[in-house]
Structure 1
Amino acid sequence: MSDLATLAKTAFDPDAPRRVGVAVSGGSDSMATLHLLAPFYEVHAVTVDHGLRPEAGAEAQFVAAACARLGVPHQVLHWRGSEATGNLMDAARRARMRLIGDWARGQGLDHIALGHTADDQAETFLMRLAREAGLEGLSGMRRSYQSDGAHWHRPFLDVTRAELRQYLRDAGIAWVDDPSNSDPRFERVRARAALAGLSDIGITAEGLARVVGHLAQARAALDAGLELFVADYVVQDRGALRIDRAAFTRDLAPELQRRLLNAALIWVSGADYPPRAAKLERFLHDPEPCTLHGCQIIRHGAYLYVAREFSAVADLRVPCDQIWDGWSLEALDGQDVSGLTIAALGPSGLPQCPDWRATNLPREALLASPAIWAQEKLIAAPFAGFENGWKARKEASSFAATIFRR
């Protein structure tokens, strides 16, 4: 059995079901992933058409034809990428992962494979190095992680793109080239060009991937100690994180304080990345209450709270059967929910909750908590002592599971 076949056969945990999902764009990395996994698993493939290029529809059909030849079920998902604002590639990546996660849950698939390679790992390292990232960022993409109820895997993260393309050529398997992969407007393309230029001094994708692996081992060692602290001194409190302030100051070195707060800010905000290093350093140097990364860091009694910032969600309103800022709300008594929406409790809703002080949550955290509204009338605020037959559930895994065991 070839090395690639061995990696494919052991791509998932031994107790994982044999029925798995694979994200396939039609590019070389994902096409190789599809064909390598298909002999060993009951594969279901999915392609996201971002609507950004006229060729995207034909590329999705190319993947569909390849899947049909393999006998693999395939589905195309659509995202209106032309409406995205800000960082287009980041918005497309977020949309792709969200759509694929929703698709997997609908198909009853718990495990999903992605076609990232050692080249992607090296490019990511360079991009994060340019942002002056800490150990979290420089330790790279994880081989497996949990997010939104699914297990995501990168079985070929130690394999170069050239190796996967050689496998495809040897097997007579075609792939498509996305022209945006050569567009220097995008940061990853510039990182790819920089990586190619570094080969003159012996820096390669394989070498950087090994460096990232060493950093990941260092990160794991730090995380092991930090996880013990979290178990003893950090409480997940209705969407906020409550940290024992004395223990935080007494027991954690500055680097571990930074790592804990980075992890807390990511988990509370639902963001993929921590804040810029300089912003968090300012707080650690002068630990006064502040807003950061769409969150608030609040002193409340003996505790430090990391909670959602009201202004970050003030304009977010969705129907009550949709997810609001990572929360789903459910009526438990069969009441009519037509016309109801989820929005932040806010300063207009809090006075309608006479028992909010008994919750022991900071006022600032309650303002950003999810509530049920009938236009301007408050129906329920589960975190503010006004459940009224409603329960709130966070879609993400627990803080410890998300940060330390994904």
Structure 2
Amino acid sequence: MTATVHPKDALRDFFAPGRPDRLGVAVSGGGDSTALLCLLADLRAEGGPKLAAVTVDHTLRPESAQEAALVAALCAQLGVDHATLRWTGWDGRGNLSDAARRARQALIANWARDSEIGTVALAHTSDDQAETFLLRLARGSGVDGLSGMAPRRRSHGIEWVRPLLGVRRQALRDDLSARGVGWVEDPTNADERYDRVRARKALDLLAPLGLTVPRLTETAGRMARARSALDSAVADLARVACTIEAGDVVIARDGFDAAPEEVRLRLLAHAVRFVASAEYRPRFEPLTEAAAALARGGRRTLAGTLLSATGRAYRVAREHRAVAGLTVPVGEVWDGRWRMAGPALQGAEIRALGPEGMAQLDDPRASGLPYATLVASPAVWSGARLVAAPIALFGSNWRAEPLFSVQSFISSIFAH
């Protein structure tokens, strides 16, 4: 897909193979998402997916409620179901942009699941892709970062699609002007306190050097192909070198040590992210330091995991400190990875086994698993009394049911 493709052609091409029956679209009221809404309504009229729209009101600006109402009015004109979701969770701490992004994604994902929608369209354009490339280049990103935003990815149980990554922002505004449809201009889009606004202006200065939006998006596409090839190599190594034991990723040293360094680092990073149920891979510098320590037979903690080495394998386990305070009622998912099944027990809860639980085991060595693996494993507690620790072979009436497998470990290598 080139950066000069017409918006309607972009959508037809994107959704031609395997269109979803029902599609959600996130609409803020800005030019890009408003144009996507109108274009998808056109596609629906041509036999495309049924459509529902959602707007997240972050309540961060006085105008936000009115902007959501404008989107609702446009949806009513187009005959598109619309919902407004409000976020009031900002406590004034941390990174506002990141917190708003995470909240928006979670709210939309919950709405989509409740509406039986499996796919949600986002309105990122080739201009957004070029700005993302430039920002990540400035941060020293490697292949993954410079591959930019993926056209399709899975997160929160939803497929998120970006069908307009080959379309220029101005083409969308031209389309809206031709329709006589207005849009909202977010004042933060001109606020140079934001990195993305500065990157947008920098692109104008870089264009005479050939660093144009089309050129940068083409480069991001090449990086995405390189990333795909690396992911395939990592998956091949994982198939022959990795097993899952009690929730830990165990990597055979012979296959791992013989692989190229980039493949080794990527597999190790993926194992850390998988065990910790983390959204992002660990940073490059601590990752490379941990890999070097493992090669020397050492141990390291990294991003909520414990990495250790034996003569024949490397083990990536959950770090006890990362789950020591995590408590859920029986029946709920613990640490994003485990469910516990057993007899009804009033007031029971799931916590990490910990040193206190280890002291209550009949035979702490019965499972043959490392101490570090056991102390971070899920256990059933009634107050201070250990009821069951299935991974440690304590409590025969209880099972620890993993929400993961070797197959999910390998398939998630490709999920961006």
Q: Quick check: 2:253–2:313 contact (8 Å CA) kept in 1?
A: yes
Q: Distance in 2 between matches of 1:16 and 1:358?
A: 52
1:5-404 matched pairs, under 5 angstroms: 5-12=8-15, 14-38=17-41, 39=44, 40-83=48-91, 85-250=93-258, 252-287=259-294, 288-300=298-310, 302-320=312-330, 323-327=333-337, 329=339, 331=341, 333=343, 335=344, 339-354=347-362, 357-386=365-394, 388-394=397-403, 398-404=408-414
What amino acid maps onto 1:77 in structure 2? L
Q: Quick check: 1:321–1:328 contact (8 Å CA) kept in 2?
A: no
Q: Indicate the larger mover: 46-55 or 20-29.
A: 46-55
1:380 deviates by 4.4
Question: Compared with structure 1, are the counterparts of its residues 279 and 76 closer, same or farther at alpha carbon in structure 2 (3 Å cutoff)?
Answer: same
Q: Distance in 1 between matches of 2:192 and 2:335?
A: 33
Q: Quick check: 2:10–2:166 contact (8 Å CA) kept in 1?
A: no
Q: Quick check: 2:24–2:120 contact (8 Å CA) kept in 1?
A: yes
Percent identity of paired positions between Structure 1 and Structure 2? 45
Q: Distance in 2 between matches of 1:217 and 1:297?
A: 30
What amino acid maps onto 1:399 in structure 2? F
Q: Deviations over 1:195-228 (max 9, x none)?
A: 3332242312221111010111112222222221
What amino acid maps onto 2:257 in structure 1? T
Q: Distance in 2 between matches of 1:71 and 1:56?
A: 22
Task: Name the larger-Rg structure.
Answer: 2
1:347 deviates by 2.7
Q: Quick check: 1:11–1:153 contact (8 Å CA) kept in 2?
A: no
Q: Quick check: 2:10–2:167 contact (8 Å CA) kept in 1?
A: no
Question: Compared with structure 1, are the counterparts of its residues 107 and 210 closer, same or farther at alpha carbon in structure 2 (3 Å cutoff)?
Answer: same
Aligned residues: 402
- What is the SS of the residue equivalent to 2:269? helix
1:386 deviates by 4.5
- What is the SS of the residue equivalent to 1:108? coil
Q: Deviations over 1:218-241 (max 9, x none)?
A: 122222222211111122344432
Q: Distance in 1 between matches of 2:117 and 2:26?
A: 12
Q: Deviations over 1:94-126 (max 9, x none)?
A: 222222222222222222211112122222222
Question: Compared with structure 1, are the counterparts of its residues 60 and 341 closer, same or farther at alpha carbon in structure 2 (3 Å cutoff)?
Answer: farther
Q: Quick check: 1:52–1:81 contact (8 Å CA) kept in 2?
A: no
1:21 deviates by 1.6
Q: Distance in 2 between matches of 1:132 and 1:262?
A: 17
Q: Quick check: 2:305–2:318 contact (8 Å CA) kept in 1?
A: yes
Q: Deviations over 1:380-403 (max 9, x none)?
A: 445443474454443899122222
- What is the SS of the residue equivalent to 1:83? coil
What amino acid maps onto 1:133 in structure 2? S
Question: Compared with structure 1, are the counterparts of its residues 46 and 141 closer, same or farther at alpha carbon in structure 2 (3 Å cutoff)?
Answer: same
Q: RMSD over aligned Cα, in angstroms? A: 2.8
Q: Quick check: 2:247–2:402 contact (8 Å CA) kept in 1?
A: no
Question: Compared with structure 1, are the counterparts of its residues 275 and 84 closer, same or farther at alpha carbon in structure 2 (3 Å cutoff)?
Answer: farther
Structure 1 segments (4+ residues) deviating >6 Å: none
Q: Indicate the larger mover: 103-112 or 352-361.
A: 352-361
Question: Compared with structure 1, are the counterparts of its residues 368 and 159 closer, same or farther at alpha carbon in structure 2 (3 Å cutoff)?
Answer: farther
Q: Quick check: 1:314–1:368 contact (8 Å CA) kept in 2?
A: yes
- What is the SS of the residue equivalent to 1:132? coil
Question: Compared with structure 1, are the counterparts of its residues 62 and 290 closer, same or farther at alpha carbon in structure 2 (3 Å cutoff)?
Answer: same
Q: Indicate the larger mover: 359-368 or 257-266.
A: 359-368
Q: Gaps spanning 5+ residues in structure 1: where?
A: none
Q: Indicate the larger mover: 28-37 or 391-400.
A: 391-400
Q: Indicate the larger mover: 358-367 or 50-59.
A: 358-367
What amino acid maps onto 1:138 in structure 2? L
1:142 deviates by 1.1
Q: Distance in 2 between matches of 1:196 and 1:371?
A: 58
Q: Distance in 2 between matches of 1:290 and 1:222?
A: 25
Q: Distance in 1 between matches of 2:303 and 2:107?
A: 24
Q: Deviations over 1:149-189 (max 9, x none)?
A: 32221111121222222222222222222223333333333
Q: Distance in 2 between matches of 1:281 and 1:297?
A: 12
What amino acid maps onto 1:137 in structure 2? G
